[in-house]
Structure 1
Amino acid sequence: MTPQLDAVFREAAEQVWPLPHLPGAVSVVRRRARAVLAHWNLAPDLAEDALLVISELITNAVAHARPPAVLRLSRIVDGRTTLRIEVTDAGPAAAGGRPVVEPYPGECGRGLGIVTALATRCGTDVHAGGVTRWAELLAA
């Protein structure tokens, strides 16, 4: 990464990306998020937990909601570092409850439980634009 981009990532308190509505979106966005978390100098354990939460929230949006979807990462430093992860989508998939993108068999139903276990706080906000699922992780 160039020194100029390095400075942008280090100073930025927020990063926002649209999420491709494809099964491969999780790995693409996860790589991008890993770079941002590294440049924010987060503790390795916090960064790994954050990547897992990011993966679960993105998978949920891609598999169970309508596009468009957006990931927002926010770093809040006020004595301690808090990382806020938000994924906003256009709401539940079409009637019938079938996933928009078929998940891998046997790997369904645990994502939000994982998010709840790793997050200091988490929740869901329903609004006119759709649904935002969020989680906050606090540095140890």
Structure 2
Amino acid sequence: MTAKMMDTSMTMKGMQAMDAPAMGALVEACSACEQACTICADSMMSMDMMGADMMQCLSMCLDCADMSNTMMRLMLRPSGYDMPSMMAMMTACKTMATACADCCTMHAEMSEQCALCAQACMQLAEACEGMMTAMKAMS
């Protein structure tokens, strides 16, 4: 649905159509990552004893949730795309998602939420890479 809406929006404004499947995949991955990171952070907050590494992971999850939401919102406003800015944002989002995945992977054995969060973060990093590849092909 999101990809169809974005494609229609760009066509109505006479913009060059972006890769709708890559855009849709990125928007969906951003949404899933934001949700997973928020749930993971909440789960960590409810733990009785939390060491410094878990505090760092909690903070990383909250930051990644915010980054995911911002990236998603930017993708939903295609009329304002500026190629260099979007590429920089996707690079930052991919970097944040990868860092969060690495952090949550360290706790995956003791927390199912961390394992799922790591998976969602890696899917977001892959979706960012896919969208960047599609955008490079357009230029």
Bigger Rg, structure 1 or 2: 2
Q: Into which bin does the TM-score normalised by the smaller protein fall?
A: 0.3 to 0.5
**Higher share of residues assigned strand:** 1
**Higher share of residues assigned helix:** 2
Please give the TM-score of this superposition, normalised by the length of structure 2. Answer: 0.38
Please give the TM-score of this superposition, normalised by the length of structure 1. Answer: 0.38
Q: Which has the higher contact order (CA 8 A, sep 6+)?
A: 2
